Every structure is written in C-alpha cells, then in structure tokens.
Amino acid sequence: MAMNIDSSYINAYNVNSVSASSVEKLSSGLAINKASDDASGLAIGDSLGVQKSSLAQSVENTISGVALSNIAQGGISNQQDILEEINTLTLQAMNGTTSAEGRDAISQQIGKYIEQYDQIANSTTYNGEQLLKTAGDSSDDMSIVGQDAIVEISKADTTSISDSLKSFLNDFATDPNARTGMLDAVNQGMTQLASYASDYGSSSNQLESMTRNYMTQETNTARAESIIMDIDYSKEVSNFSKSNLLTQIGYLMQTQANAHQQRNIALLS
C-alpha cells in the first residue's frame, strides 16, 4: 500500500503566517498593524501620531491668526488714509483764504469720510468677529492657541477715534476752536491707529514664527512615525514573493516525491 508524502500543512502554515502578513502590510502600507506585530513600536507610533495631529492643528490655528492680523492691519491702513484726508481738509478749512461756504462744504466732506471710517470698522471682520471695534467685555480678547504657547490678540477700539471727530463736526464750519479740536483729534487718532497696527503686526510676526516652528516639528514627527510604522515596500514585496515561491517549491517537491514513490511501488509489484 502506497503512502503519499503530504506536507500541505506546512505550506498552509507558511501561507497563513508569512504571505498573509505580507498581504496585510502591503494593503495597509504599515509595518505595524496590531500589537502582536510590535507592541512597543505600536505604542511609540501612536504617540507620534497624536503629536503630529496636535502640531497640524497648531499650524492651522496660527495660520488663521496670521490671516486675522493681516486683515486687521489692512483695515487700519484704510482708516489711516481717511484720517490723512481729514487732516488735509481741516488744514484747508483753517486757512484764512477759505470762505464760509468752502468751510461748510469741507465739513460735509469730512462727515462723509467719518462715515467711511466707521464702515471700515464695522466691516473688517474674521469669521464674524469684528477686529476694529470693541464691545467693552471679554469678547475683545482673542486667543490663538498653539501646542506650547498662546498668543493673545486684543481688538482695536478704532471707533473711539471717529466718535472724537464727530464731536467737533457740528461747529466745524463756524467755530475756529472746533477746527483746531478736529486737527488735534486727527493727530491723536493717527498715533492710536499706528499703535493698533503695531500690536497686530507684532502678533502676526510671532504667529508666523510659531507656524514655521510647528511645520518643522510636524515634518520631523511625521518622518519619525514613518520610520517606525511604514513598511519598506521593496523589502515586503520581496518577502511576499519569496514566501510564495517557497510554497510553490514545496508543493512541487511533494508532487515529485509522491510520483517517485508510485513508480517504485509499481516496479516492486
């Protein structure tokens, strides 16, 4: 009676343990898919993944802060242009050669400029937050949160400047003191706007520096995570091909051994 040589259980073990593992790694792109692959490596990889996500959100937060600051600075620049126009008109009205009718026309023009100024204060926003107008409460402070630092940005109270200008507008055409007051208010307003622009500019510079730092950290963290978690495709494909080849050789050797046994038995029969 012939007894076939059967090593299929060995081949099955190879397919399930080596080939299946390679297929899992190749399909996921990860060298570590579960704790049994590498428990310590998985723990480190997960920790790096959390850190990378935190850095990515920090980058997004700081970039938003830079955009906010730049929008605010743009609005302030437009307000500064308006104050310069009001300053020029006030000097013209203060000149002795300007007629009463001319001063009245200048007063009306300044009133329109003040309206434009307030419109800029009302419309300069970021995600619905007014940047050049304060509410007088805690909502005036905006926190830009990074992974290891918080940048506090305060809204600019630019409408207090226009309120000051309005107080001299009614008597501007007829009262020299009102024109002098208007000129002083404009100069003080220009100084205040420059201070607001400086504050936003400083915040923008700080946030840009933080963004660059976080982006560098994120890149390095992603690289470290990749070294631990990602597979070497060429190596894994080679392992997969090798395991398949060994399995095929095993089946071939098994078939040949059985065939030789059958021939030997036939000769002895």
Q: Give the mean model confidence (pLDDT) for residues 83-108.
A: 97
25: in domain: no
| Residues 3-56: tens digit of each pLDDT | 444 454 445 444 445 555 555 555 555 556 555 556 676 778 778 888 999 999
Whether 189 is covered by a domain: the verdict is yes
Q: Which residues span the domain enclosing 167?
A: 46-227
Name the pTM for this structure: 0.73
Domain-located, residue 268: no
Residue 124 belongs to a domain: yes
In a domain, 152, yes or no: yes
Please state, in angstroms and as integers, the Cα–Cα distance from residue 260 to each residue in 123, 140, 252, 269, following that order. 92, 91, 12, 14
Q: What is the CATH number of the domain that holds 184?
A: 1.20.1330.10
Domain membership flag for residue 174: yes
Lowest mean pLDDT among 42-51, 70-79, 167-176, 244-253: 244-253
Number of domains in the chain: 1
Q: What is the pLDDT of residues 52-68, one digit of tens each?
A: 999 999 999 999 999 99
In a domain, 172, yes or no: yes
230 — pLDDT class (breaks 50, 70, 90):
low
Is the residue at 179 inside a domain? yes
Q: What is the DSSP string of 92-161?
A: HHHSTTS-HHHHHHHHHHHHHHHHHHHHHHHH-EETTEESS---SSGGGEEEEE-SS-EEEEEPP-THHH
